[in-house]
């Protein structure tokens, strides 16, 4: 168990409906953001600019599903500098947001 799992308590949230069109849209935007590099100061500046655009629209465009989103999403959108320096924190946020950051598997036939 990582230090972040011990220090940060997860707030229980209702189950995400991963089939909801707004959740699908948000997940696609988050996956695109997540794919951007953050190793250098310049890369983080670009990442932060894109994250800020999403954060600005979060309350409006996703108002209907906002209460179902993990609270850690707010931190994810502003903590690129910490994730770039701390692999444990990077993994902690990825684990919490995994449902939104990982592309869904196609249904099996």
90 inside domain = yes
- Domain interval for residue 54: 39-102
Radius of gyration over alpha carbons of the chain, in Å? 14
Is 46 strand, coil or helix? helix
6 inside domain = no
pTM (global) more than 0.85: no
């500046």: which residue's tokens?
45
**Domain count for the chain:** 1
95 inside domain = yes
Q: What is the pLDDT of residues 19-68, one digit of tens each?
A: 999 999 999 999 999 999 999 999 999 999 999 999 999 989 999 999 99
The separation between the first and the last C-alpha atoms of the chain, rounded to the nearest angstrom, is 36
Confidence of residue 1 (pLDDT cuts 50, 70, 90): very low
């Amino acid at each position: 168990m990582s230090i972040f799992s011990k220090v940060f308590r997860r707030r229980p949230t209702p189950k995400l409906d991963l089939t909801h069109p707004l959740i699908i849209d948000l997940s696609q935007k988050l996956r695109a953001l997540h794919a951007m590099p953050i190793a250098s100061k310049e890369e983080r500046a670009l990442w932060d600019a894109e994250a800020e655009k999403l954060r600005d629209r979060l309350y409006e465009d996703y108002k209907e599903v906002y209460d179902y989103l993990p609270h850690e999403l707010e931190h994810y959108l502003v903590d690129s500098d910490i994730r770039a320096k701390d692999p444990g924190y990077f993994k902690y946020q990825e684990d919490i947001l995994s449902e939104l950051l990982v592309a869904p598997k196609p249904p099996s036939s």
